[in-house]
Amino acid sequence: MKHAPLVQDLINAFTCLPGVGARSAQRMSYWLLERNRQGGSRLATALSAAMEGVEHCPQCRNFAEQGLCPVCQDQRREQGLLCVVESPADVLAVEQSGEYRGRYFVLMGHLSPIDGIGPRDIGLDLLEQQISSGAVAEIILATSTTVEGEATAHYILDLTRNTDVSVSRIAQGVPMGGELEFVDGVTLAHALRGRQKVPPSF
Amino acid sequence: MKHAPLVQDLINAFTCLPGVGARSAQRMSYWLLERNRQGGSRLATALSAAMEGVEHCPQCRNFAEQGLCPVCQDQRREQGLLCVVESPADVLAVEQSGEYRGRYFVLMGHLSPIDGIGPRDIGLDLLEQQISSGAVAEIILATSTTVEGEATAHYILDLTRNTDVSVSRIAQGVPMGGELEFVDGVTLAHALRGRQKVPPSF
């Protein structure tokens, strides 16, 4: 079956999205063409504006347009406290916890020598500058608990040697609401090793 | 948490797609911004081209750009045979069956007085013209087996009274590979009523 060329182009273009195969792409294309051309045009405009206009914050590397990102602009944030994460989605996750009021440093990846991703590719030279300039008092390492994430965390820890920066790693343990029998052994080992004394007032 | 405005616009725009909520929209936006800006720009171009350029075939109402759709252009198709379906996706489904070599008429909906959708809204005036012009020898009604689809099929059947057009409805019955115990009663009743004599050579 031949689609009209413009329709076929649209279906092909939709498959660039994560989790969208040929069938979903066709459904999306038809849906927009049949019922929501205005929405489709708006999406086209938003897409091209974002693809061209979104840059990286010169301070934390998160997404931003022209200059600092909203978090770095916010002067009420604790300026000396830095949470290092791998991606903008991780920033959102930490924000949604409601527990954090410092700044971020977004690596946009992790160290991965096998893929040719070195320290400069994830902005660690910029982080090193910020550390040596004395602007950072405390770093919370919130990289993933994968091999690459751990390696990246260790690398950053090394950057802070011979400085006054205090460094911590987010706690690894049993997730809230998780039943112990379904927790894997590695996580459980971390949870046991990282056990905390219960205060007498508990 | 505030996104950069362009990113927020993009996330909002993505939620116009069917089955895409705030979370998927965010994942898609981040994915494109982080890993596939080229794909995102291509999608923007394809979208705006399709939203503006895709029209309806003046003969069958399927999607087309400037003039007849690919099926109507194809002179090897049996010109007097017309399959009436509700949507472009139905055309694809029939094409994929590999059983059909005629033309289509795509209603882009079905009769639904409650929603104010009358015969002209689904192009039945155009279909009536084609019937009365003598261009159609046979019509296969392949509208949905819903109340609205059946009503639409009956309406079209009425259009062919006092003409030589032969009209059929696609068979309703048990789907291939379906186990009888899981088939609903209405479908089974149709399957029994529509039973066909087994030829002696079977």
pLDDT score of B192 = 83
Nearest to A152, CA basis, from A166, A135, A169, A165: A169
pLDDT score of B202 = 63
pLDDT in tens, A12-32: 999 999 989 999 999 999 999
pLDDT score of A155 = 94
Which carries the bigger pLDDT value, residue B40 or residue B172? B40
Which carries the bigger pLDDT value, residue B202 or residue B65? B65
* Range of weakest confidence among A65-79, B29-43, B66-80, B185-199: B185-199
Helical spans, DSSP H, in chain B: 5-14, 22-35, 37-53, 70-73, 88-97, 124-132, 147-159, 185-193
- The residue of chain A nearest to residue B19, with distances taken between CA atoms, is A28
pLDDT at B1 over 70: no
pLDDT score of A71 = 92
Phi then psi dihedrals of residue A100, to 5 deg: -120, 135
pLDDT band (50, 70, 90) for residue B4: confident
A-contacting residues in B 93-132 (Cβ below 8 Å): 95-96, 108
Name the minimum distance, in Å, from the CA of A189 to any CA of chain B.
32
> Does the model's ipTM exceed the 0.90 cut?
no
pLDDT band (50, 70, 90) for residue A1: low
pLDDT band (50, 70, 90) for residue B172: confident
pLDDT score of A145 = 86
pLDDT in tens, A63-90: 998 889 999 999 999 999 999 999 998 9
pLDDT score of A39 = 95
B-contacting residues in A 127-186 (Cβ below 8 Å): none
Residue A90 near residue A75 (C-beta atoms within 8 A): no
pLDDT score of A159 = 92
Which residues, including other chains, have CB under 8 Å from residue A32's CB and lie 6 or more apart?
A10, A39, A40, A43, B16, B17, B47, B50, B51
Number of Cβ pairs closer than 8 Å across A and B?
175
Percent of chain A with pLDDT over 70: 99
Q: With helix as H, strand as E and coil as C, how does A43-90 read?
A: HHHHHHHHHHHCEECCCCCCEECCCCCHHHHCCCCEEEEEEEECCHHH
Q: Mean pLDDT across the stretch A168-189?
A: 82
Residue B183 near residue B154 (C-beta atoms within 8 A): no
* Range of weakest confidence among B21-25, B36-40, B173-177: B173-177
Which chain B residues have a beta carbon less than 8 Å from that of A39? Answer: 13, 16
Task: Please name each of the domains of chain A with its CATH number.
Answer: 5-53 (1.10.8.420), 79-169 (3.40.1360.10)
A36 and B16 in contact by Cβ < 8 A? yes
pLDDT at A191 over 60: yes
Number of neighbours of residue B170 by Cβ within 10 angstroms: 14
A30 and B87 in contact by Cβ < 8 A? yes
pLDDT at B99 over 90: no
Percent of chain A with pLDDT over 90: 66
pLDDT score of A80 = 93
Q: Mean pLDDT across the stretch A136-143?
A: 93
DSSP letter at A3 equals P
pLDDT at B200 over 60: yes
pLDDT score of B176 = 80
Q: Mean pLDDT across the stretch A121-127?
A: 94
A92 and B4 in contact by Cβ < 8 A? no
pLDDT at A202 over 70: no
Of A13, A32, A88, the CB nearest to B51: A32
Name the minimum distance, in Å, from the CA of B19 to any CA of chain A.
9
Does A5 contact B at CB distance below 8 Å? yes
β-strands A78-85, A102-106 pairing = parallel
Q: Mean pLDDT across the stretch A108-131?
A: 93
pLDDT score of B166 = 92
Percent of chain B with pLDDT over 90: 66
